[in-house]
Amino acid sequence: MQNKIKRSPLFYVGDKYKLMKQLAGLFPQEVDNFYEPFVGGGTVFLNINANKYYLNDNDKNLINIHRFLINSANNPTLFFKNVEKIIKKYHLSRSYKEDIIPVSLKKEWKKTYFAKFNKEGYEKLRVCVNKHIKNDPLILYILLIYGFNRMLRFNGGGKFNLPVGNVDFNKNVVNALNGYFDFVQDKKMTLSSKDFRAYFANRKYSKNDFVYLDPPYLITASEYNKRWDQKAEADLLGMIDDLDKKGIKFALSNVTHYNGSKNDLLIDWMKKYKTHKIESNYISYHNNGKKQIKEVLITNY
Ligand SMILES: C[S@@+](CC[C@H](N)C(=O)[O-])C[C@H]1O[C@@H](n2cnc3c(N)ncnc32)[C@H](O)[C@@H]1O
């Protein structure tokens, strides 16, 4: 574990950045191979010291962006040059380098001037992605950085369909990118974009391997939770039992209670393992102002 917690430059919805200190304190000290079947933005692996990393997510675009960033770590100067070319071409704000937003716009739209300024260029870039350069990881990454909630979202016809966000390419993005590049540069990494069932199939493990799992949560609402159901949950819990039988260390992040719902399947299953309470700071309040989320880390060590 590094001293300073790194945040993934994907700023992924629901990333573990704010919980990383707590989680890292509960992870094994020595890790040979690190497995993360639901890697998302990657904040967790960025804070793990292992000999080898096996990262997976069934979102192909997300994995393509990771692959692209890992390759870019060999030449960050070229990466930033290419970013700048696109940002300039589409006349997007670039507060990491200079402030080009007119004072009059800032005065008129005190809290939303980034969105107002970037809307036109962002929409042109989105058209360009949908028409010509589908799935170009650099363009998708830039859309993510300027987009609403910093997400990737496609409609049924495969078109990127998020609106512009009130954010831009700022110093935090550059710092997170540099942190990512520094970290991945000398690491052995294998990436895949499979369903978790295929990812686990026929895998061989050795002593000191560690599997960290942060799947979609059955009872919370999020874009990537939509296709997660009782069957997926049951399959996953069964696969984790298999890991345990093989003597492999695992840690599973999850939520047992959320705004009046509870995950009985999980609550029953976790009785055979250790449960650590995680103090989460997601904004989720009932009318009485009481937080209604219980987040846990379940481990077999
Ligand atoms: C809670 S997020 C992980 C967030 C991650 N810990 C982070 O810090 O960014 C869950 C991830 O699981 C992925 N996912 C959803 N269903 C999946 C499946 N069947 N197989 C593999 N990955 C899946 C989603 O794309 C999403 O990125």
Atom from ligand 1 closest to the CA of residue 197:
20
Span from the CA of 42 to the centroid of ligand 1 (angstroms):
10
Span from the CA of 225 to the centroid of ligand 1 (angstroms):
8
Atom from ligand 1 closest to the CA of residue 227:
16
Find the helix packing angle between 137-146 and 113-131, rounded to 10°: 160
pTM of the predicted model, to two decimals? 0.93
Tell how strand 293-299 and strand 249-258 pair up: antiparallel
Ligand 1 neighbours by CB, cut-off 6 Å: 12, 14-16, 37-38, 40-41, 43-44, 57-59, 195-196, 214-216, 224, 228, 232
Residue 150 has a pLDDT of 87
Contact 209, 32 (CB under 8 A): yes
Mutation test residue for ligand 1: of 23, 224, 227, the one with most atoms within 8 Å of CB: 224
Atom from ligand 1 closest to the CA of residue 12:
9
Give me the residue spans of the domains in the chain.
Answer: 17-58+194-299, 66-175
Span from the CA of 40 to the centroid of ligand 1 (angstroms):
5
* DSSP code of residue 6: P
Mutation test residue for ligand 1: of 23, 38, 217, the one with most atoms within 8 Å of CB: 38
Residue 88: both structure tokens together: 């300039």
Question: Positive or negative CA dihedral for 172, 175, 178, 179?
Answer: negative
Residue 154 has a pLDDT of 83
Q: How many other C-beta atoms can be found within 10 angstroms of the C-beta atom of residue 58?
A: 18
The pLDDT tens digits along the chain (301 residues) read 446 899 999 999 888 999 999 999 999 999 999 999 999 999 999 999 999 999 999 999 999 999 999 999 999 999 999 999 999 999 999 999 999 999 999 999 999 999 999 999 999 999 888 877 667 899 999 999 999 988 888 888 888 889 999 999 999 999 999 999 999 999 999 999 999 999 999 899 998 999 999 999 999 877 777 789 999 999 999 999 999 999 999 999 999 999 889 999 999 999 999 999 998 765 545 555 556 789 999 999 9
> Looking at ligand 1, which residue's alpha carbon is closest to its atom 19?
195
d(CA 125, CA 161): 12
Span from the CA of 62 to the centroid of ligand 1 (angstroms):
10
User: What CATH number should be reported for the domain whose range is 17-58+194-299?
Assistant: 3.40.50.150
d(CA 203, CA 154): 32
d(CA 67, CA 61): 10
Q: Which CATH number fits domain 66-175: 2.40.160.20, 1.10.220.150, 3.30.70.141, 1.10.1020.10?
A: 1.10.1020.10
d(CA 267, CA 3): 33
> Looking at ligand 1, which residue's alpha carbon is closest to its atom 7?
15
* DSSP code of residue 298: E
Span from the CA of 301 to the centroid of ligand 1 (angstroms):
23
* DSSP code of residue 52: E
Span from the CA of 99 to the centroid of ligand 1 (angstroms):
35
Helix H or strand E segment including 145:
helix 137-146
Residue 118 has a pLDDT of 97
